[in-house]
Amino acid sequence: MLAISPGVRHVSTAKSMDAIMSLCKRRGFVYQASEIYGGINGFWDYGPLGAQLKKNLRDAWWQDMIMNPCWGRKGPNGERVKCVPVETCIIQHPKVWEASGHLAGFADPMRKCPGCGHFVRADQLWDIITTGSEWFASLIQEFEPALEDTKTPAIDASKLLKWARSKGRKQAPNLALVKNPEVVLSFLATRINGQPTAPPDVVEIIRHLATAQLNATGLQDPCPRCGDVLGTPAAFKLMFETYAGLTQSEDNKVYLRPETAQGVFVQFKNVVDTTRIKVPFGIGNTGKSFRNEITPRNFTFRSREFEQAELEFFCHPDESLEWYKFWRDFRMEWWKSIGLAGENLILREHEKDELSFYSKGTSDVEYRFPFTAPGFGELEGIAHRGDYDLTQHQTHSRNKLDYFDTTRGETLPNGGKKGERYMPHCIEPAAGLDRGALALICEAYTVDSARPSPEFLKLHPRIAPIKAAVFPLMDKDGLPEIADALYDKLFARFGRIGLIENDAKQSIGKRYARMDEAGCPYCFTIDGDTKADQTVTVRDRDTGQQQRMNIDKVEAFLAEKLGV
Annotate 248-304 with DSSP letters as a single string: --GGGEEEB-S-SHHHHHHTHHHHHHHS---SSEEEEEEEEEE---SS-BTTTTB-S
Contact 271, 390 (CB under 8 A): no
Looking at the Cβ atoms of 191 and 514, the one nearer to RNA is 514
**E-strand stretches of 361-454:** 361-367, 377-386, 403-405, 420-422, 425-432, 445-447
Q: Do β-strands 44-46 and 109-112 pair in parallel, antiparallel, or remain unpaired?
A: unpaired
Burial bucket for residue 117 (CB in 10 Å: 0-12, 13-18, 19+): middle
DSSP state of 552: G
DSSP state of 123: G
Q: How far is the CB of 218 from RNA (least distance, A)?
A: 17
Q: How far is the CB of 20 from RNA (least distance, A)?
A: 10
Q: How far is the CB of 412 from RNA (least distance, A)?
A: 44
Q: How far is the CB of 447 from RNA (least distance, A)?
A: 10
Q: What is the dihedral of CA 396, 287, 463, 283, to 10 degrees?
A: 40
Determine the Cα–Cα distance for residues 205 and 208; give it in Å rounded to an integer: 5
Looking at the Cβ atoms of 155 and 464, the one nearer to RNA is 464
Looking at the Cβ atoms of 245 and 452, the one nearer to RNA is 452
Determine the Cα–Cα distance for residues 368 and 346; give it in Å rounded to an integer: 8
Looking at the Cβ atoms of 64 and 455, the one nearer to RNA is 455
Q: If DSSP codes are grouped into helix, strand and coil, which group holds residue 64?
A: helix
Q: How far is the CB of 30 from RNA (least distance, A)?
A: 10
Looking at the Cβ atoms of 234 and 412, the one nearer to RNA is 234
Q: How far is the CB of 335 from RNA (least distance, A)?
A: 20
Q: How far is the CB of 221 from RNA (least distance, A)?
A: 14
Q: Which residue, 422, 441, 423, 445, is CA-closest to 433? A: 441
Looking at the Cβ atoms of 199 and 231, the one nearer to RNA is 231
Determine the Cα–Cα distance for residues 430 and 286; give it in Å rounded to an integer: 10
Looking at the Cβ atoms of 369 and 403, the one nearer to RNA is 369
Looking at the Cβ atoms of 135 and 299, the one nearer to RNA is 299
Q: What is the dihedral of CA 262, 268, 270, 276, to 10 degrees?
A: 150
Looking at the Cβ atoms of 138 and 344, the one nearer to RNA is 344
Q: How far is the CB of 465 from RNA (least distance, A)?
A: 17
Q: How far is the CB of 223 from RNA (least distance, A)?
A: 12
Within 10 A of 122 (CB to CB), how many other CB atoms are there?
16
Q: How far is the CB of 46 from RNA (least distance, A)?
A: 15
Q: How far is the CB of 401 from RNA (least distance, A)?
A: 20
Determine the Cα–Cα distance for residues 468 and 546; give it in Å rounded to an integer: 14
Looking at the Cβ atoms of 427 and 483, the one nearer to RNA is 483
Q: What is the dihedral of CA 131, 134, 137, 143, to 10 degrees?
A: -140
Contact 131, 224 (CB under 8 A): no
Looking at the Cβ atoms of 4 and 146, the one nearer to RNA is 4
